[in-house]
Structure 1
Amino acid sequence: MKITVLTVGKIKEKYLRDGIAEYAKRLGRYCRLEILEVADEKTPDQASAAQEAQIRRTEGERLLRYIKDGDYVIALAINGHMPDSVELSKELDRLGVQGKGHLVFVIGGSLGLSDEVLDRADDRLSFSKMTFPHQLMRMILLEQLYRSFRISRGEPYHK
């Protein structure tokens, strides 16, 4: 299975880059992992709703350029479904059995994802009703993917 994490913005903090690199390395045993970054837009202080919508659209256009017709797209969105780790593992197994060979997880920028990206998504996934920095979500997603593969194979992993 190939997994692409398609995300807005670069990771600036070393501790996050280190954590992401560690989970990317661990995932190499279970899948072909690719992390793609698109440029983020600067959001002015006190941006209007129209400015924020335009920023989401611009970032969304950049993201959509990397999504192919046959990709199974899972958008990380606060209003997505919230499985626990075992349920996520079962969902990934189910997608594999259904022949979904390329999963694309999309993480938006600080303002979230555009409607166009959300409309293209085959599924929406939420990790919490709380808001997390989009840079941190990359590491959380990779950790949960790693946990899912370990669960699926009956391998031990801390709880």
Structure 2
Amino acid sequence: MNIDVIAVGRIKEKYIQEGIKEYKKRLSSYCKLNIIEVSDEKVPDDSSDAQRERIRQVEGERIRARIKKGSYVIATDINGEELSSEQLARKLNDIIISGKSDLSIIIGGSLGLWDQLIESADMRLSFSKFTFPHQLFRLILLEQLYRCFKIIHAEPYHK
């Protein structure tokens, strides 16, 4: 399976970069993982709702341009479905069994994802009602993908 994590912005924090590198290495046994970064827009402190929506749209169009045709798309969204690790593993396994070879998981910037991307996604997924920095969320996502593959393959996961 090919998994594209398409995210707004670059990871600047060294400790997050190291964690992402570690989980990319672990995931290489299970899938071909690509992390695709699209540039983010500056958000003025005094931005209006219209300006903020325009920023989400510009970032969203950048994300949409990187989604492979025919890919199963999961939009990360605080209002999406909350699943346990086991439920997410079953969902991932169902996607694999269905014959989809490409999965795109999209992560918005500091303002979240553009509504049109969320609405067009095959699935909306929430990791929590908590708000996470989008850089840290990328690491959390990779850890959960790794956990899912361990569950799918009935392999132990050391805590």
Say whether the fold is shared (TM-score over 0.5): yes
Kindly, what percent of the aligned residue pairs are identical? 57
Residues 1:60 and 2:53 aligned together: no
Return structure 1 stretches of 4+ with deviation > 3 angstroms.
none
Q: State how far apart, in whole Å, the 2-side matches of 1:110 and 1:148 are.
A: 26
Residues 1:143 and 2:143 aligned together: yes
Q: State how far apart, in whole Å, the 2-side matches of 1:155 and 1:86 are.
A: 13
Q: State how far apart, in whole Å, the 2-side matches of 1:125 and 1:78 are.
A: 7
Q: State how far apart, in whole Å, the 1-side matches of 2:28 and 2:112 are.
A: 28
Q: Which amino acid aligns with 1:47?
A: S
Q: State how far apart, in whole Å, the 1-side matches of 2:43 and 2:158 are.
A: 39
Residues 1:23 and 2:34 aligned together: no
Q: Please provide the CA RMSD for this pair.
A: 0.8
Task: Deviation per CA, 1:33-55: give whole Å up to 9, x if none.
Answer: 00000000000112111110010
Q: State how far apart, in whole Å, the 1-side matches of 2:119 and 2:87 are.
A: 24
TM-score of the pair, normalised by structure 1:
0.98
Q: What SS does the corresponding residue of 1:99 show, helix, strand or coil?
A: coil
Q: State how far apart, in whole Å, the 1-side matches of 2:130 and 2:59 are.
A: 22
Residues 1:86 and 2:77 aligned together: no
Given that residues 72 and 103 in structure 2 are in contact (C-alpha distance below 8 angstroms), is that contact kept between their aligned partners in structure 1?
yes
Given that residues 5 and 36 in structure 2 are in contact (C-alpha distance below 8 angstroms), is that contact kept between their aligned partners in structure 1?
yes
TM-score of the pair, normalised by structure 2:
0.98
Gaps of 5+ in 1: none
Q: State how far apart, in whole Å, the 1-side matches of 2:38 and 2:4 are.
A: 13
Q: What SS does the corresponding residue of 2:58 show, helix, strand or coil?
A: helix
Q: State how far apart, in whole Å, the 2-side matches of 1:124 and 1:101 are.
A: 19
Give the aligned partner of residue 43 of structure 1: 43
Displacement, 1:133? 0.5
Q: State how far apart, in whole Å, the 2-side matches of 1:112 and 1:85 are.
A: 23
Pairing 1:117-136 to 2, within 5 Å after superposition: 117-136=117-136
Q: State how far apart, in whole Å, the 2-side matches of 1:7 and 1:20 are.
A: 13
Residues 1:13 and 2:13 aligned together: yes
Q: State how far apart, in whole Å, the 1-side matches of 2:90 and 2:103 are.
A: 14
Give the aligned partner of residue 101 of structure 2: 101
Displacement, 1:69? 2.6
Task: Deviation per CA, 1:65-86: give whole Å up to 9, x if none.
Answer: 0113301000000011111001
Gaps of 5+ in 2: none
